């Protein structure tokens, strides 16, 4: 397992990084750990969701609002690389970035750090689905919110 310092996303300039990232925290519970004494690997997907929800919320486009408009963004692909383990009571930094916004899909990237060290990297890819469960085009307002800086509120 390679050790990495908790750098910004690869290839990200300071400016674009400010625009298209969000950062929040999570504290490791016993509920998150497993019998090896470290965080169970599937738990990180939950924190990816925490990061993604936070990213959208601070752009004044909480995911619950997307759903009220009749759309959903189901996960169609998920990936995680585990570099170092997190342990009970660790305070984690969850960094989320929108990596790609396509015609009918979105890709988020995540870095989870603790004490300045990268623990886990990953991404999720999401389809855009209408109320009938059919793939559909990403609405312009949602595209702009995903691409834009955090909101003013």
From the list 8, 17, 85, 150, which residue makes contact with a copy of itself (rule: CB under 8 A)? 85
The total of other beta-carbon atoms located within 10 Å of residue 88's CB is 14
Nearest-approach distance from CB 66 to a copy of itself, in angstroms: 11
49 binds a copy of itself (CB under 8 A): yes
29 binds a copy of itself (CB under 8 A): yes
Q: By the 8 A CB rule, do 118 and 80 touch?
A: no
53 binds a copy of itself (CB under 8 A): yes
* CB closer to a copy of itself, 46 vs 147: 46
Q: By the 8 A CB rule, do 46 and 10 touch?
A: no
34 binds a copy of itself (CB under 8 A): yes
CA distance 19 to 98: 10
From the list 115, 131, 135, 139, which residue makes contact with a copy of itself (rule: CB under 8 A)? 135
CA distance 89 to 113: 14
CA distance 131 to 66: 11
Q: Which of 32, 34, 100, 153 is catalytic?
A: 34
100 binds a copy of itself (CB under 8 A): no
CA distance 148 to 74: 21
153 annotated active-site? no
36 binds a copy of itself (CB under 8 A): yes
Task: Kindly give the residue spans of alpha helices, DSSP state H, lying in 1-153.
Answer: 14-20, 43-57, 63-68, 140-147
Question: Could you list the residues that contact a copy of itself (CB under 8 A)?
Answer: 1, 27, 29-31, 33-38, 40-43, 45-46, 49-50, 53, 62-64, 67, 72, 74-82, 85, 87-89, 124, 127, 135
Q: Which residues are catalytic?
A: 34
């Amino acid at each position: 397992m390679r050790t990495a310092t908790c750098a910004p996303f690869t290839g990200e300039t300071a400016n674009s990084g400010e625009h298209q990232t969000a950062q929040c925290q999570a504290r490791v519970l016993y509920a998150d750990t497993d019998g090896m004494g470290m965080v169970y690997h599937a738990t990180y997907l939950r924190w990816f969701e925490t990061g993604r929800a936070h990213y959208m919320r601070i752009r004044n486009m909480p995911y619950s609002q997307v759903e009220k408009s009749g759309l959903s963004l189901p996960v169609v692909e998920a990936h995680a690389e585990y570099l170092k383990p997190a342990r009970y009571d660790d305070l984690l930094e969850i960094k989320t970035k929108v990596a790609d916004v396509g015609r009918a899909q979105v890709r988020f990237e995540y870095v989870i750090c603790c004490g300045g060290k990268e623990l886990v990297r990953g991404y999720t890819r999401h389809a855009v689905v209408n109320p009938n469960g059919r793939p559909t085009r990403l609405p312009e307002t949602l595209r702009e919110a995903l691409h834009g800086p955090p909101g003013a509120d």
